[in-house]
Structure 1
C-alpha cells in the first residue's frame, strides 16, 4: 500500500516515507545520545540525531537497491515505501518470472548492507586507526586522550553505523521467509526443482522453524530475564509471517490442482432446440422467479447446440414467438467461451476475469455441455479443498454478484501463475 509523505523519486520510482519515522527518529536520537553525552554534553542529542538519521538511511539504501535491481530485471515498481516494520515495502507490479532474477533482487539488499558496513568500519579506522577494531571497552574510553573528543564521537558514529549495517547483513541472510535469505532459498529451490511453489513452501517452512526456535530461546531467557519476552514476540511474528507465505502457496497450489470438473455444477437447463419461443416462454421463462437468471442449453438430436438467453427472447416482439424456434436464437457453443473438464481453476479464473464473464460452460471430450462454473462455484471448490468454512449464504451472494469479493486476491494470484508458466 502507498502511504506516508512523498520525498522524491529514484530513477523515476516515487519514494515515500511513513510518518511514523518522525517519531521513531526522535526516540532513537534521545536513546542514542547517551553514548555521546560524556564527550559532548551540549550537543549529545545532535549526535544522537545524526546516528538515527544514518540508521534510517541504511534502511532506505537497502530498499532503493532492492527497487533498482528489480527494475534492472524488468520488474515494474510502483513505489518505494519506507516503513519501520519490515524496513520498507517496494510495490512490485509482479514477481520476477525467473529464479535467477529473483535471487539477484533478493541479494541486492544484503550486499548493500555489507557495503555500508565496510564503509562505516573504514571510516572509523581512518579516524581512529586500529583501535577502532578493539573489542576492549577501555580502548574506546581512552580514545579522547589520544585523538580528542570530536574525533572520538565521529569514530563512535562510524562504528555504530557499521555495526547496525552488519547486523542487517547477517539477519537478512537467514534462509527463512520473510528475510531476504528466505527469498534466496526460494529462488535456489525454484531453480533446482523448476517449481516456484516448492521454493515458497520450503522457505516458508524454514521461516516457521526459525520462528519456533526464537520463541523457545526467548522462553528459556525469560526464565531469568524479561528481555526474553521480546524474543518470544519476535519469534511469534516470524512464525505468523512465514505462515502467511505458506497460506498463499497452498492457495496457488490448489488453483493448479483443482480442475473445472471438480468445481463445476450442473446448474443449467436443457431445452429442446425445436421448441418455439412461445412454448419456451410458457414452459420455462414464465415459471422462473423474477430474480432468477438460469442458463439454458439448446439441445436437438442428442447434441447440445448452443446457449439460449432469456434476455434475448424478451427483446423480440411476442408476435414472432410462435414462428421462431429456440435454435434460431441459440448462440452456438463453438462461438462462446468454454473450458474443458481438465482445465485448471487458475485458467478458469483468468478467463472469467479477462473477458468479464459471469460464468463459463464446461464441455466434455465429445463437445457436449458437462456443466457450468461461476465465481461462487470457484469459491465453494476452494472452500472444500482448503477448509475455509465459508457460509453458504455468502457463496450464494458471490454467485449472484457475478464477481469475486474485493478481499479475495484470486485474480492477482492466477495472473502470477500464468506469467510464471509463460516464462518457463
Structure 2
C-alpha cells in the first residue's frame, strides 16, 4: 500500500497520492539517504498484530518458545523494512527528477512517501509509480535466492521465505490499476499520455480505485456473512481506505479543473473605495478609519482618472500631527507599480501571481485597459465554493481577507501549481 467542501477536498487528498495523501506526522526514528523516516502511532498496532499472528502460527514449529517470538518480531520488523524500501524506490526516482521528498511514514496500512510536487510529465509519473513495485519485486528475487542457502526448518529460513512471499504480494497488490495504489498512478500516467490531460488521468484512475475499493468491501462482507470469516474485515478496511482516498483524488481533480476553468472576472469584486488625490489624510481617517472596518483597497483619483492606491500600512510614513495638511497623494502607490492581471486569466495562474508580490490583492484590468475590480484570497475561496456548489460562510471569507492567507487545511498554492501541469 502506498495511498464536501473546499477545505475537506484539500484535507482529504490530491493529484499524486504521495504528494497530497502524505502523513507527515509521527515520530522520527532516523533517515535513509537524507530522507526522514517517521512512525505514526497506528504503526505500533499493526506491529503488535503481525508479531502476534506469526508468533501463534510458529508455535507449532520445533523451536524454543523464546525463539518463536524473536522470529515473529523479526518478521514484523523486516516486513516494515520492506515497506520502507518500497517507498524509498518511489522517493529516489522522484529525487532523480528534482522532485523534493520530505519523508517516509509508516502507518496502519503500510507506508507513504511524502513527495511535495507532482511529476512534470506522464513519463516521470510512470517512473515514480513503477519504482516501488519494482523495488518490492527485486527484494522478492533476492530473498528467494537467500532462502535456498538457509537450513530447512530454521527460523531464519522461515522468516526469509515468508518475507519473500510478502514482497511479491506487495508488488502485485500495488499494481492493481486504481488510485491510491501504484497501479493507479501507472494508469493515470497512461491516460495522461493518451489524452494530454493529467486531470483526466487522475479522474479515470480514481474511478478505478473507487471500483476496487467497493469490490473489496463487498467481497469481505460476503465472506463474513457466508463463512463467518472475521479475518476478512482487514480486506474491508483496505477497501474503505481505497474508497476514501479514491474519492479524495476525484474531488481534488474537480477542484483543479475548476481552478483552470474559472477566470479572474468570475471571482473579482469591487470591494474598494475611490478618494480624491487632494483629500487630506485627516479627512480620510475620519471618514474610513473610525468605528468601521477599513476598506480593502483605496484608489486615489485625480480628475476622474485612477492614479494609484493608498495602502493603510503606509499611513505611518507621515506623523498623525501632519495629517491635516498632507494630501493622500503624498503616500500614493503609483498605478504602474501595482500588480495587475487581465480579466480572462484563470484562477490557477492568479493564485500563483498573488504569491509572487507583496500586496494582498491583484488589480483586475478590463479589455479596454481600465481597472475593473480587485481579487484577493478571500474572493478566490468564495468563487471556488460557488463553483463547487458548496456555500461558504461569509465570515470565513472575511477572515481569509483579514489574515491574507488561505486556511491551513486548504493549500491552494500547491493545488494551483499542480493544476498548471498540463
Class of the TM-score when normalised by the shorter of the 2 chains: 0.7 to 0.9
My pick for the range that moved more, 159-168 or 395-404, is: 395-404
CA distance, structure 2, for counterparts of residue 54 and residue 11 of structure 1: 19
How do residues 240-259 of structure 1 correspond to structure 2 at under 5 angstroms? 240-259=244-263
Q: Which residue in the other structure is 1:292 paired with?
A: 293
Task: Tell me if structure 2 keeps the 8 A contact 1:8–1:14.
Answer: yes
Instruction: Report the equivalent of 1:25.
Output: 47
The alignment partner of 1:189 has SS state of helix
Query: Is 1:38 matched up with 2:71?
Result: no
Matches within 5 A, 1:60-71: 60-71=84-95
Supply the distance in 1 between the matched residues of 2:27 and 2:115 (Cα, whole angstroms).
19
Counterpart in 2 of 1:10? 32
Once the two structures are overlaid, the 10-residue window that deviates more, 376-385 or 290-299, is 290-299
Distance 1:94 1:40 in 2: 51
> What does residue 193 of structure 1 align with?
195
**How far 1:121 sits from its partner (Å)?**
3.1
Q: Which residue of 2 aligns with 1:261?
A: 265
Match of 1:96 in 2: 119
CA apart distance, 1:209: 1.5
Choose which of 174, 178, 181 in structure 2 pairs with 1:172: 174
Inter-CA distance 208–335: structure 2 relative to 1 (3 Å threshold): same
* Greater mean alpha carbon deviation, residues 226-235 or residues 255-264: 226-235
Judged with a 3 Å threshold, the aligned counterparts in structure 2 of structure 1 residues 235 and 322 are, in CA distance, closer, same or farther, namely: closer
- In structure 2, what is the Cα distance between the partners aligned to 1:250 and 1:172? 25
Q: Are 1:160 and 2:184 an aligned pair?
A: no
Q: CA deviation at 1:223?
A: 2.5
> In structure 2, what is the Cα distance between the partners aligned to 1:343 and 1:296?
23
In 1, Cα distance between the equivalents of 2:365 and 2:75? 66
Separation (CA, whole Å) in 1 of partners of 2:148 and 2:404: 66
Name the counterpart of 1:77: 101
Q: Structure 1, residues 381-422: CA drift from partner, whole Å, max 9, x if none?
A: 11101123221222122222222222221122123345x36x
Which range moved further: 227-236 or 104-113?
227-236
What is the CA-CA distance between 1:180 and the residue it aligns to? 0.5
Shift of 1:337: 0.7
| CA spacing shift, 1:379–1:104, aligned 2, 3 Å | same
Select which of 123, 133, 136 maps to 1:110. Answer: 133
Mapped to 2, the partners of 1:25 and 1:321 lie a distance apart of 69
CA deviation profile, 1:242-282 (whole Å, cap 9, x unmatched): 11111221111111111110001112223455xx224x864
After TM superposition, the structure 1 stretch with the greater mean CA deviation from structure 2, 32-41 or 236-245, is 32-41
Question: Which whole-Å CA distance do the structure 2 matches of 1:231 and 1:35 have between them?
Answer: 20
| Contact 1:303–1:368 (CA under 8 A) maintained in structure 2 | no
Does structure 2 retain, via aligned residues, the 8 Å contact 1:277–1:321? no
Give RMSD over aligned pairs. Answer: 2.9
Distance 1:179 1:326, change over 3 A: same
Count of residue correspondences: 394
Question: Structure 1 363/56 Cα, relative in aligned 2: closer, same or farther at 3 Å?
Answer: same
1:6 is displaced (CA, Å) by 3.9
Gaps of 5+ in 2: 1-22
Displacement of 1:30 in angstroms is: 3.0
| Greater Rg by CA | 1
On the 8 A contact 1:285/1:310 being kept in 2, the answer is no
In structure 2, what is the Cα distance between the partners aligned to 1:74 and 1:159?
A: 37
List per-residue Cα deviations over 1:122-163 (Å, max 9, x = no partner).
3444558xxxxxxxxxxxxxxxxxx6x43xx55433331222
1:68 shift after superposition: 1.6
Partner SS state of residue 362, structure 2? strand
Instruction: Say if 1:270 and 1:296, in contact at 8 Å, map to a contact too.
Output: yes
Distance in 2 of aligned mates of 1:356 and 1:100:
36
**Inter-partner Cα distance in structure 1 for 2:244 and 2:49:** 28
CA distance in 1, matches of 2:300, 2:208: 54
In structure 1, distance between residues paired with 2:194 and 2:41: 42
The TM-score, its normalising length taken from structure 2, stands at 0.83
Q: Is the CA contact 2:259–2:419 (under 8 Å) kept in the aligned structure 1?
A: no
